Amino acid sequence: MPVRGLALPLATYRRRRADALRLLRTAFGERVPLLLLGSDELALRRDRQDPWFDYFCGCAEPDAALLLDPTRAPHDTLFLEAGDPSRVIWDGARLGADEKARKAHGIAAVERHERLEDAVALALRRSGGLLAMCHRSREPGAQAAAFTQWKEKLGARATVLNAETHLAALRVIKDADEVAWHRKAIAITAAGLKTVLPQIPRLQGEAEVASLLTMHYRSVAYGPLAFPPIVGSGANGATLHYPFNDQPLRRGMPLLIDSGATAGGYCADVTRTVPQHGRFDDPRFREVYELVLQANALGRKHARPGITFDELNKLAWAPIIAAGFTRHHGLSHFIGLDVHDPGDRSQPLRPGMIISNEPGIYLPDDGFGIRIEDDLLITKDGCEELTRAIPKDIRGIEAWMKS
C-alpha cells in the first residue's frame, strides 16, 4: 500500500518540528510539550487532513497524533491508529505503527495510538501540567474540537495552551517547495476556468458551473478543493460566502465565481466575475467592474515587504470608497494549507508570504456583486501575481469566454 501525504521533503517537516519546539520554549518555557491531532476517518475523507497536523508531519493517516516533547529523547513521536481490523475490507488498510511508517515519515519514533494518553500524562508530569495544542481561534477546524476534548479529558490535571499565534509565524512564510505547490494549485484552477468560462453562455444553472469546476479541480488527483466553489448569478454574487449554487443562470447578468483547487494540500483562491453571455456590454456592470479592477491593480502595485494589511487596504480600497461604495471585507488574507491561512495580520508583509488581493463591490439592489481575487507572492522588492495567467481585464475575459 502506498504511503500517502508527505508533499514536502522529510527534512522540511523535521525542520518545522525543531522550529516549533524552539518557538514554544520561548513562549511557554523549557518543558512544554506540543500535541497535534490529525483528522478522524470521516473528516479526512469528507474534507482533508488537519492543516496544523499536516504542516508538522505530512502524515495522511486517519486518527493519527503527533507529540513533540522537549523533555523526552527523541522529542518527536507520531502515533498511528491501527483501526479495527474488521474495517479493513470497508475502509482499506491503515499504516501500522512500525519501522516502515517511521522511515516513510522520517520521524524519530512511531508508536501505537493507544500509547498516546500515557505519553501525554508523562509529559504533563514533567511540564508541571502545561500542554500546548494548536487551533484556529478565528476559524474552527479539527484541532479546535480536539482542543476542547483534551481539555475536558485532562480536567484539573492540565492547563491547555493554544500555540496558534506562536506557530503561525512559521506558516506565513512559504519556502520554494510550498510556492511550487501553490503554483500547481493555481495552474489547475486556471485550466478549470479556461475550460468552463467559454461554456457559461450555454449552461443552465449555477450548479453546472460549480460541478464542472469541481470536476476539473479534482480530476488531477481527486484531492480536496480549497473550499466549495461559490457560484453566484446576479444578486447572489453579492452574498460574500453564497453557499447554495442552486439558482438558474440568467443571460445578461454577471456571474461571480470564487473557487480554487489544491495541490500538495496547498490552496488556490481565485475570484472572477464575468458576464454570463460573454460580453461586458451592460454599462452599469462595466463601470463598477472597472472600479474593482482599479482597486485590484492598486493592491498588486503596493503589496511589498514592509507594508501592513491596514496600509494596503487603505490604498487599494481608496477608489471604491471615493466613488461612494461600501467596503464590506478586507483586501487580503494569508493563503496556504488553509485557504484562510493563520497568521498575524497586523505584521508588515515579508518575502515568502502568499496573500489574496480581493477587492469587491456588492450591489444586491442593482442585481450583482463583483469581486476580483488574485493570489500574490510577496517577493524581495514587491510581489508576483501568481494568478496572472487567469485574465481579469475586460478584453481578456471576453476572449476566454469566446474561445
Shortest CB 333 distance to Mn ion, Å: 6
CA–CA gap between residue 185 and residue 196 (Å, rounded): 17
Q: Which residue has the cell 505530512?
A: 58
Distance of CA 185 to the CA centre of its chain: 11
CB-CB contact of 75 with 17 (8 Å):
yes
Residues in the interface with Mn ion (CB under 5 A) total 2
Cell of 83: 483501526
Shortest CB 177 distance to Mn ion, Å: 23
Sole window of 125-133, 264-272, 374-382, 387-395 interacting with Mn ion (rule: CB under 5 A):
264-272
Residue of 269, 341, 374, 385 that binds Mn ion (CB under 5 A): 269
Nearer to Mn ion, 35 or 354 (CB): 354
Sole window of 23-31, 321-329, 344-352, 355-363 interacting with Mn ion (rule: CB under 5 A):
355-363
Contact status: 357 vs Mn ion (CB under 5 A): no
Dihedrals φ, ψ of 205, to 5°? -140, 160
Give the side-chain half-sphere CA count within 13 A for 8: 24
Dihedrals φ, ψ of 283, to 5°? -60, -40
CB atoms within 10 A of CB 328: 12
| Cβ-Cβ contacts under 8 Å for 212 (sequence gap 6 or more) | 192, 195, 196, 199, 203
Shortest CB 339 distance to Mn ion, Å: 7
CA–CA gap between residue 134 and residue 150 (Å, rounded): 12
Cell of 55: 504542516
Contact status: 143 vs Mn ion (CB under 5 A): no
Contact status: 259 vs Mn ion (CB under 5 A): no
Nearer to Mn ion, 39 or 356 (CB): 356
Residue of 39, 49, 356, 387 that binds Mn ion (CB under 5 A): 356
Nearer to Mn ion, 259 or 356 (CB): 356
CA–CA gap between residue 330 and residue 309 (Å, rounded): 8
Sole window of 128-136, 142-150, 296-304, 350-358 interacting with Mn ion (rule: CB under 5 A):
350-358
Span 7-36, contacts to Mn ion by CB under 5 A: none
Contact status: 61 vs Mn ion (CB under 5 A): no
Residue ranges in contact with Mn ion by CB under 5 A: 269, 356
